[in-house]
């Protein structure tokens, strides 16, 4: 077994990197894969909270880097989904505490024991960004369908290219289907045409995400949540299953379900 290292990144902050990392990680684990989610947002750790594992942290990634514990000791195993693990970030340090070569070394150590290593990167394009990207086999670029987020995503694509890393795959998060229908919001097709990279998934806006985060229970655990279903679809695509991106207009799947829901509720 040699894990695939997947780094989740974005240009703009607040577009949902941590939510994507937690939910895709958990969806892969629910499918029986051995997963470790690594929080690379040193100083602003949050992945532990979204996963609901904040009370179980003893050691973090900086302890590993400084040799104060073994790599395995910093891993927290999720009791709900035992194949899911978290390596938390340090909260009291800054981004310079983990260097790109440290991240590469940690991933090399973890690779033999896992199927997937998901790295939640820091926002922005400074040092922390390079650290999170250094070991990546695959890069997931998260954006919202908004002008500022898409602009910053474009910048990240250029930087990733300059680093000689593979072209990122796109996740459009928080798409509001009713706004798209009214012509008030960029659609996925607009974002794709502008960024010209491959689409991995679209997450519809879903209040359940906030409820789930409040509870520390990632939304993929909610069978009926539209966002949860979208995250499971992304996980299946990562595992190589051909899951249709856009089920035929008003057809099967979550988007069709959402379209029908919006139509019946909107009355327009």
Partner 1 sequence: MSWLDRLRGRPLPRETAKQRLQVILVHDRSNLSPGLLEVIKDEIIAVLSRHVPIIAEEVRVTVTQDARECRLVADIPLGNRHSRS
CA distances from 188 to 93, 157, 182, 223 (A): 37, 17, 14, 24
182 is a site residue for partner 1 (CB under 8 A)? yes
Q: How many Cα atoms within 13 Å fall on the side-chain side of residue 188?
A: 20
Side-chain-facing half-sphere of 57: CA atoms under 13 Å: 21
Nearest partner of 138 among 168, 163, 111, 164, judged by Cα: 168
User: Cα angle vertex 238, ends 81, 198, to 5°?
Assistant: 145
Closest distance of CB 230 from partner 1, Å: 21
Among 154, 216, 259, 261, binds partner 1 (CB under 8 A): 154
For residue 181, the Cα-to-chain-centroid distance in whole angstroms is: 26
Site membership for partner 1, residue 180 (CB under 8 A): yes
Cβ contacts of 152 within 8 Å, gap of 6 or more: 10, 11, 12, 143
For the bound state, the minimum distance from the C-beta of residue 36 to partner 1, rounded and expressed in Å, comes to 33
Range in contact with partner 1 (rule: CB under 8 A) among 27-35, 116-124, 144-152, 224-232: 144-152
Q: Which of 68, 70, 72, 151 binds partner 1 (CB under 8 A)?
A: 151
- Binds partner 1 (CB under 8 A): choice among 67, 112, 164, 183: 183
What mask of x and - would describe binding to partner 1 in positions 158 to 177, judged by CB under 8 A? x-------------------
Which residues in this chain contact partner 1 in the complex, by CB under 8 A?
A: 146-147, 150-151, 154-155, 157-158, 180, 182-187, 190, 193-194, 196
């Amino acid at each position: 077994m040699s894990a695939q290292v997947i780094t989740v990144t974005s240009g703009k902050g607040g577009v949902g990197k941590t939510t994507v990392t937690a939910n895709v990680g958990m969806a892969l684990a629910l499918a029986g894969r051995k997963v470790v989610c690594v929080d690379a947002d040193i100083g602003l750790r949050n992945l532990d909270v979204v996963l609901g594992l904040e009370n179980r942290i003893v050691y973090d990634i900086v302890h590993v880097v400084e040799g104060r514990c073994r790599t395995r000791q910093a891993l927290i195993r999720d009791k709900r989904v035992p194949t899911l693990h978290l390596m938390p970030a340090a909260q009291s340090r800054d981004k310079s505490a983990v260097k790109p070569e440290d991240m590469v070394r940690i991933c090399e150590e973890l690779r033999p024991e896992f199927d997937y290593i998901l790295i939640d990167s820091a926002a922005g394009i400074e040092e922390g960004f390079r650290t999170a990207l250094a070991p990546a086999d695959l890069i997931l670029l998260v954006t919202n369908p908004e002008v500022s987020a898409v602009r910053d995503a474009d910048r990240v694509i250029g930087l990733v290219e300059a680093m000689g890393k593979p072209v990122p795959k796109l996740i459009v998060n928080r798409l509001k289907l009713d706004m798209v229908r009214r012509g008030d919001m960029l659609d996925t097709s607009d974002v794709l045409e502008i960024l010209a990279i491959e689409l991995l998934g679209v997450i519809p806006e879903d209040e359940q995400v906030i409820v789930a985060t409040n509870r520390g229970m990632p939304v993929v655990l909610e069978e009926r949540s539209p966002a949860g279903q979208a995250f499971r679809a992304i996980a299946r695509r990562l595992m190589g299953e051909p899951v249709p991106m856009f089920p035929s207009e008003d057809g099967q799947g979550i988007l069709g379900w959402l379209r029908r829901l919006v139509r019946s509720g909107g009355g327009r």
